[in-house]
Amino acid sequence: MLLKDTELLDSKFRPYSTDIRLSAGKVCELGSLSPWANEEVIEADNCVVIPGLNDHHAHLVSYAASLNSVKCGPPEVSSIEDLIITLNQVPGSDWLRGIGFHESLCANIDRVWLDQHGPKRPVRIQHRSGRLWVLNSLGLELIRERADALTGHERRRLSETSGRLYDVDELISNLTRAEPPPLMTASQKLASFGVTGVNDMTPANDPASLTWFSELQDENKLLQKVMMSGRPELSECRFSDTLSLGSTKVHLHDYDLPDFPDFVDLIKKSHRQSRTVAVHCVTEVALVFTLSAMRAAGCSKDNRIEHASVIPPELIRQLQELELAVVTQPNFVHEKGDTYLKEVPVSEHDYLYRCRSLIDENVPLAFGTDLPFGKPNPWSAMRAATDRQTGGGNVLNSAECITPEQALTGFLGALESPFEARQVSIGADADLCLLDAPWHEVRMDLDARHVKLTIIGGEVVYFRD
C-alpha cells in the first residue's frame, strides 16, 4: 500500500512531506515514491500520519460489556427518579446490567431498594469506580445458584445480604456470562479513534483470558495489538507478536492493603522474571505504601504507578529517585473534575492527575483512558491534558497543562516502552493513523473526528468516508 503526499512529524514534531510505502505489516519505504502495478494508493493530501495510538491502561472486556449496558449515573441519569425510569424501561427478562452509578443520585442503593424500585428481573448495577456491584434479590439468587464451583472464600465474597458486593467484578462476570460481550464492536470503536494497541490492565487477567484474547485476534474480532497485564501466573504463558506479556498488576485499596512483606516479595519475584509491576494508586496512602515497598524491594526501575491520582509535591522527587513511571488519565480531569473541585480539599487540588510537574521532574509519563471507567476516546484525554477543563467548564490545576505534542506523546509510546514516542520510520510496524488535516491544525483542535484512516499491521481497519 502506498500513502501519497503525507505529512510526518520528526522527533521534535517538525513536519515534513513524504510518501509512505507499507509492505508485510511494516513501513518499508519513505520518500518520493511511484505506485507499483496493482498497488493500493491512498491520497493523503498533505494531512498528517501519526503512529497508531496506544491506550496504556484499559479494560477491554468490561468496555465491551459496557456497550450492552444501561447508564445509571451522570450525565445520562442525573436523579433518582431518572434512575427508576431508566431501569424499568429496558425491555427483556434476563439480566439487566447497569453501569456508572454514582452516590450523588442516592447514597445507599442496595438489594431492598432495587427490589422495590427496579424491574422484576435479575439486576446488577456497577458503581462508577468499578469496585462495587449492587444486586437485587433475583440477581443474588441467580449468582448463588451458580456459585457451587467456587471456593469457600469466593462464596463468602458473594454472601453480603445487602446485595452490595465489593471487588467481585471477575467473579460476577464469570457467573453471569450468558454470552460473551461484543468485543468486535468495542475493537472497531477504538479503531475509529485511531487506537491500534491496548494494554489491558485488568488485575484478574489470567491464562484463560489470554487464550480467549488470542482466539479473538485469530478470528479478527479483536483488531488491536494487546499487551496483557494481570496476574503473576501470566509469566508462564506463551505470547505472540500481537499479544504480549505486560506487567504484574496490583490493585491496592486503602482499607485492605496487602501484607507489606508479601507485596515486597511480589515486586522482587516479578523483577526476577524480568516483568515490571504496575500498582493501582488512587490515593496518597496507596502511593506512600507503594513507594515504601518499591524502596524495600530495591528494584523499582520501570515499575508503573497506575493513575497516580494524588501526588503531594514531596512524593514527586521520590518517584524520580526510584525511577518509577506514571501512567495516568487526564480524561478524568474532564470527566470527574467538577466532582473533585467539590469534594477534594482545595489545598489538594494541585495534587490531582499531574502531568506537567512529572514531565518537568523527568518522571516517565504515559496515558491510558482506563476505559470503560474513563471514556474510551484518547483525543478527549489529550485535550484535557492541554486545557485541564472540566465538563462544567472549570479549570482544574492549570499549572499541570501540557502542550499538544506532550499530550500526543502520552499515547504514542510502544506498548512495551510507553514512555517514548514512536516514529513513522522505515522498519516500524505499519500501525498508523491518518488524520484529515496537517498537524498545525489538529494540535489546536484535538478531536477524534480528525481520524480518517486507521491501519494495523498494514491492514486498513477503519476508514471514514
In whole angstroms, how close is the CB of 373 to Zn ion at the nearest point?
6
In whole angstroms, how close is the CB of 356 to Zn ion at the nearest point?
23
In whole angstroms, how close is the CB of 208 to Zn ion at the nearest point?
20
For residue 75, is the peptide bond before it cis, meaning its omega torsion is within 30 degrees of 0?
Answer: yes
How far apart (Å, rounded) are the C-alpha atoms in residues 215 and 446? Answer: 34
- Kind and range of the H or E element at 462? strand 459-463
CA contacts within 13 A on the Cβ side of 259: 4
Cβ proximity to Zn ion, 136 vs 303, nearer residue: 303
Cβ proximity to Zn ion, 370 vs 400, nearer residue: 370
Report whether 229 contacts 205 (CB < 8 A).
Answer: yes
How far apart (Å, rounded) are the C-alpha atoms in residues 314 and 336? Answer: 25
How far apart (Å, rounded) are the C-alpha atoms in residues 433 and 454? Answer: 5
Q: Does 429 participate in binding Zn ion (rule CB under 5 A)? A: no
Cβ proximity to Zn ion, 176 vs 205, nearer residue: 205
Burial of 341 (0-12, 13-18, 19+ CB in 10 A): middle
In whole angstroms, how close is the CB of 165 to Zn ion at the nearest point?
19
What residues from 361 to 380 belong to the interface with Zn ion (CB under 5 A)? Answer: 370
Cβ proximity to Zn ion, 56 vs 443, nearer residue: 56
| Angle (CA) 71 343 84, round 5° | 25
In whole angstroms, how close is the CB of 331 to Zn ion at the nearest point?
12
In whole angstroms, how close is the CB of 376 to Zn ion at the nearest point?
12
Cβ proximity to Zn ion, 250 vs 291, nearer residue: 250
Q: Which of 356, 353, 337 is nearest to 400 (CA)?
A: 356
Cβ proximity to Zn ion, 169 vs 370, nearer residue: 370
From residue 172 to residue 211, what is the string marking binding to Zn ion with x (rule CB under 5 A)?
A: ----------------------------------------
Which ranges of 273-312 does DSSP label H, i.e. alpha helix? 284-297
Shortest-Cβ-distance residue relative to Zn ion:
370
Cβ proximity to Zn ion, 335 vs 370, nearer residue: 370
| Angle (CA) 14 15 17, round 5° | 150
In whole angstroms, how close is the CB of 59 to Zn ion at the nearest point?
6
Cβ proximity to Zn ion, 59 vs 354, nearer residue: 59
Cβ proximity to Zn ion, 202 vs 406, nearer residue: 202
Question: Which whole-number Å values give the CA distances from 444 to 158, 280, 326, 387, in the listed order?
Answer: 49, 32, 26, 11
What residues from 335 to 354 belong to the interface with Zn ion (CB under 5 A)? Answer: none
How far apart (Å, rounded) are the C-alpha atoms in residues 117 and 87? Answer: 8
Beta bridge partners of 135: 124
In whole angstroms, how close is the CB of 371 to Zn ion at the nearest point?
9
CA contacts within 13 A on the Cβ side of 104: 16
What residues from 236 to 275 belong to the interface with Zn ion (CB under 5 A)? Answer: none
Cβ proximity to Zn ion, 283 vs 320, nearer residue: 283
Question: Which whole-number Å values give the CA distances from 14 to 7, 31, 305, 440, in the listed order?
Answer: 10, 16, 31, 10
| Angle (CA) 437 334 313, round 5° | 110
Q: How many residues bind Zn ion (CB under 5 A)?
A: 1
Q: Is the dihedral of CA 332, 335, 337, 343 positive or negative?
A: negative
In whole angstroms, how close is the CB of 429 to Zn ion at the nearest point?
25
In whole angstroms, how close is the CB of 252 to Zn ion at the nearest point?
12
Q: Which residues bind Zn ion (CB under 5 A)?
A: 370
